[in-house]
Amino acid sequence: MRVSKPACLFLILLLLLSCQSNKIGTLVEAESIAKAEQWSVGSFTLERVKSARLTFYQFKNKKTGQVLASTIQGKSFLTANSIQPQVEESRGSFFIDTDVILRCNQQTIDSIQVTSELLIRGSLICADKSQVAYTMRLKPITDSSLQFDIQLFDPKFNQISLHLESTPNEGFFGFGEQFSYFNMKGKRLPILVQEQGIGRGEQPITFGANLTAKAGGDWHTSYAGVPHFISSRMRSLFLENTEYSVFDMTDADRISIEVNSNRMIGQLVAGQFPKELVEHYTEINGRMNALSDWLHRGAIIGMQGGTQQVSEKLKLLQEHNTAIAGFWLQDWVGQRTTSFGRQLWWNWELDKDRYPNWSNLTADLKRQNIRVLGYVNPFLADVAGKKPNLRRNLFKEAKQNDYFVKRADGSPYLTLNTDFEAALIDLTNPAARHWFKSVLQQEMLDLGFSGYMADFGEALPFDAVLSSQVPASSFHNQYPVEWAKLNQELVQEYEKSHPNQDPIVFFMRSGYTKSPAYNRLFWLGDQLVSFSEHDGIKTAVTGLLSSGLSGFSLNHSDIGGYTTIDNPIKDYHRSKELFQRWTEMAAFQTVFRTHEGNRPNRNHQFYSDQETLAHFAKFSRIYAALFDYRKKLFTEAESKGWPVVRSLWFEFPNDVRTQSIDYQQFMLGSDVLVAPVLDAGRKWADVYLPEGNWVHAWSGKEFTGPIEFRFNAPIGEPVVFIRKENDELVHRLRTAFSTNL
């Protein structure tokens, strides 16, 4: 066949691009390795399989025969690079660009030895023909987890990649909180704790946020990314590294896992179903304790404005028979006005002008079985000369005692939030931790708070200097874990010394692998007040479904979203419809909590009109009616690590149809299926009922799955189904729904 010159040049270009993108070289084995077929360690085997004259390796569970991972035929399963990362930070958003100095894509296996662990030795051959030695240790941790520990023996090589076989239709789920997509097949996913961004692809808001503050984010930006997945083939892996990592699932036949370190350590987890895999994963990394009863007996009302505002809104809510558990008063420290809207004075002491007669307010609410919650974060701002009623300048105290994260010159590392700067407490400094805990106890818990939002934790700069001398690039993802630890220590110590105190609940948005072991509750951060699938109400479902697979079993969102924007091109203000649909959805989740947003007067609120108030009160009662059922789910979270809000795939993994359902539907436990309406103007929902017998909660009609159909869902009647076998729950919800029609 003759090929024209332009076509020939095009084919050459394609070939060059293909070679450049294929970062995996060949695998060469020593003769002694080529003669062996299997090595065993604990409950696991490494099998050498020869197929079509090429070999690959399988990591298997001996007891079940399950393949935990496979390498690619004839290809290197380890590669390494010498890199120079370039990191830019802007208000908690991070931009990482990597310059590759030298690639090492060819792999040799020189020996495999078995003792109490399995040790693979070999070399990686680089583009300049130099070599770097490596070891890969395989060690059983439990009967269901096999640790791999890969070490390079030349410090100039600071990036390792592990390449494993995949199939074109294999789905990858988990990765902590992921907001835009549930199945990550086809994606290249960076894992770095950071601000999620404003817009995250929604336009024109993302463009505007990037133009003004580089704060638009992207589809992968997350407060709580975790290097962990479960695949549709029941293969599961997590990294124990805290350094920046990337999971590349863009190639149909492989997944490549990359970490910016000369050591990669992680574990392969065995299990037959998602429930089993999550149970084993959380057994290793920690589980969340069951939530306190007081928190989920009704709504947590997010309020700002002071004592009088609380009294007025409480009266309105009670007139409509609203189930109330608490008032979340984030502005207990006072409020400032910035270009972003209403923000707080980051100086953690009560503003007595805004909340006069505080002790009377909290005592009166407690007599009505209503608790008070507050707000705090690990930053301090110097508000001297700015806040009129300042009594204690915490920034000054911390600076004098050297408690802040520093710059290279030894000065406090000030970072810009919106219109003001703040410094971050150095959580590697034991004295700073002790001091900050004492501040939060004296200035917050001693005032009668039963809970609080422990905000931020994702903004440690990569060029910061820490007291421990640990590189900030390695500690960045660990910072939110330590922030959770500090708060856990604080509340445990306080509860021990105050035995009559309500169990204290703190909730966080930032997190990493070990965070669930130390946190009492998560929330999904700052969603846009929109119906967007990248940064709106839809992401408040996707984030729950993904994070639940990584141990974030108790999680929730702000009802109505948070981020409100005034913009001459397009405003993003919370509509009445959005608030009502978010209210309906939240009634079937872990916690039912409102937020007024950063511009409360631009947003529709529960008190904006009588219809909304009645709607909100109705769903608070429906939420309260699920109290006993949620308690059972909290027990499962504590004992097994299972999420309260679940994907359909988690419950029905053998049903291929469930893999493609993300925000369109979710499960509350095993027995309640919800198909929320998440599009403006829509009065219906497309519903897929998996195998089983289901009862429609509003009408009582029975359906047998699998079946797919369109169901009417006017405002006030979201689509909810209950497993028929759970007679008690069917009766309870049918009663609650009929009472609230």
From 165, 218, 458, 671, the catalytic residue:
458
What whole-number distance in Å separates Cα of residue 534 and Cα of residue 567? 19
Name residue 431's amino acid: A
| H/E element, 231 | strand 225-231
What whole-number distance in Å separates Cα of residue 292 and Cα of residue 290? 7
What whole-number distance in Å separates Cα of residue 648 and Cα of residue 669? 10
The answer to whether residue 526 is catalytic is yes
Cis before 471? omega within 30: no
What whole-number distance in Å separates Cα of residue 513 and Cα of residue 519? 12
Instruction: Say which residue the tokens 């919106």 belong to.
Output: 418
Hey, what are 515's tokens? 């965070």
Instruction: Please report, for residues 91, 211, 225, 457, 607, the alpha-carbon distance to residue 222 in angstroms, rounded to integers and kept in the order given.
Output: 14, 20, 6, 12, 31
Residue 244 backbone phi and psi in degrees, to 5: -55, 135
From 443, 455, 535, 717, the catalytic residue:
455
The answer to whether residue 455 is catalytic is yes
- Asked if residue 539 lies in contact with residue 532, where contact means CB atoms within 8 angstroms, the answer is yes
321: helix, strand or coil: coil
From 177, 195, 526, 533, the catalytic residue:
526
- Asked if residue 45 lies in contact with residue 60, where contact means CB atoms within 8 angstroms, the answer is yes
Residue 525 backbone phi and psi in degrees, to 5: 90, -150
Q: Which stretches of 371-478 are DSSP H helices?
A: 394-400, 430-443, 472-475
Hey, what are 6's tokens? 């332009």
Q: Please measure the distance between the N-terminal and C-terminal CA atoms of the chain and give it in whole angstroms.
A: 74
Pick the closest to residue 45 from 23, 60, 66, 67 (CA basis).
60
Output 343-346 pairs: Cβ under 8 A, ≥24 positions apart.
343/417, 343/418, 343/598, 344/375, 345/381, 345/383, 345/386, 345/387, 346/377, 346/379, 346/380, 346/381, 346/383, 346/420, 346/422
For 606, other C-beta atoms within 10 Å of its C-beta total 27
- By DSSP bridging, strand 684-696 and strand 702-712 are antiparallel
| H/E element, 139 | strand 131-142
- Asked if residue 111 lies in contact with residue 123, where contact means CB atoms within 8 angstroms, the answer is no
Catalytic positions, please? Answer: 455, 458, 526
